[in-house]
Amino acid sequence: MKLFSNPKKAAVDKEKIVADEGKQLSRFLLAKDMLIGTKFDIKNHGDILQECIDRVNTNLKNLKAIDRKATIAFSLGTAALILPFIPFNWLITIVGFSYGCYQMGKREHAYKEYTDSLEDLKQCCNWTLGESLSEAQVRENKGMGVVKDILPTLAPLMSEVELKGVLHDSIEGKLLENTGVDFAKQQHSFEYKMYGYEQGSLQDVLTGFGYAIQNAWDSLTSSLYSSAAESPRIISV
């Protein structure tokens, strides 16, 4: 990455870079006047790297919060629809599904912010630990505090193959092993399918919501059966 020194030339260079290379940095990193080519320097770039990590964590937290609210709303709406003995069930059904749809509307923007920040952090990983660097540079960078926080953030959200694509060959094996992530198992988890890098298709999201609603329904029915079983019985004499 390269820092811009000429503001007038910066706008032209930014447009040229985005046009020339399809995988260029996002608006966020371009706004920091950063381009591919500059050697990572912890003093000059550490704060930007930390900001990229924080953005992923914050945006993922926000996205999951929206999904939880939507799941609860759809679960309540579904329960009220199926269980007609619930007081005002028709009203609960309408409110539940309406609020769930409202949250799904918010999800589109939140998901865009999250995926953009995840792409940024992937690029930062390649910038600090990628093949474009010498082995000596990579080994120097990987010991720096903020750089060490990249993989624990990315590993649960990317496949092993994707991570190897942005890590230097000399260090990828040990670094991936140290993450403690079971990548084979991770690929089949609903959380990964919903929030993983280049995941989150409509089918994955609907499957994830369906799975969550099913769990909520199972918990509700189990609770109702338990309450009925534990209720005191009148013994006739």
Token pair 């609960």 is found at 92
Residue 20 confidence (pLDDT): 41
152 and 113 housed in the same domain = yes
Q: How far is CA 175 from the centre of its chain?
A: 21
232 located within any domain: no
Looking at the structure, tell me whether residues 85 and 14 fall in a common domain.
no
Burial tier of 194 (Cβ tally within 10 Å: 0-12, 13-18, 19+): buried
Answer whether residue 233 is part of any domain: no
Residues 7, 105: one domain?
no
Q: Do 48 and 156 reside in the same domain of the chain?
A: yes
Task: Tell me whether residue 226 is in a domain.
Answer: no
Map the chain to HEC letters.
CCCCCCHHHHHHHHHHHHHHCCCCCCHHHHHCCCCCCCCCCHHHHHHHHHHHHHHHHHHHHHHHHHHHHHHHHHHHHHHHHHCCCCCCHHHHHHHHHHHHHHHHHHHHHHHHHHHHHHHHHHHHHHHHHCCCCCHHHHHHHCCCHHHHCHHHHHHHHCCHHHHHCCCCCCCHHHHHHHHCCCHHHHCCCHHHHHHCCCCCCHHHHHHHHHHHHHHHHHHHHHHHHHHHHHCCCCCCC
Domain span holding position 198: 43-213
Torsion angle, CA of 96/98/99/105, rounded to 10 degrees?
140
Separation CA 47–CA 18 (nearest Å): 24
pTM, full prediction: 0.75
218 lies in some domain? no
pLDDT (0 to 100) of residue 227: 56
> Do 60 and 168 lie in a common domain?
yes
Residue 9 placed within a domain: yes
Overall number of domains in the chain: 2
Is residue 234 in some structural domain?
no
Task: Determine, yes or no, domain membership for 82.
Answer: yes
Query: Could you tell me if 189 and 126 lie in one domain?
Result: yes
Residues 110 and 32 in one domain: no
pLDDT for 237 = 39
Give the whole-angstrom CA distance, residue 8 versus residue 25.
Answer: 19
- pLDDT (tens, 9 = 90+) of the chain, 237 residues, equals 333 334 444 444 444 433 444 344 566 665 555 545 677 778 878 888 899 999 999 999 999 999 999 989 988 888 888 877 777 888 888 999 999 999 999 999 999 999 999 999 998 898 888 887 888 888 888 888 888 899 999 999 999 999 999 999 988 888 898 888 999 999 888 889 899 999 877 777 777 777 766 776 666 566 655 655 555 554 443
Pair (59, 10) in one structural domain: no
State how far the Cα of 76 lies from the Cα of 177, in Å rounded to an integer: 42
Task: Note whether 151 and 82 are same-domain residues.
Answer: yes
Q: Are 118 and 17 in a shared domain?
A: no
The answer to the question of residue 48 being in a domain is yes
* CA-based torsion, 66, 69, 73, 76: positive or negative: positive
Residues 29 and 109 in one domain: no
Residues 79 and 142 in one domain: yes
Predicted local distance difference test score (pLDDT) of residue 26: 65
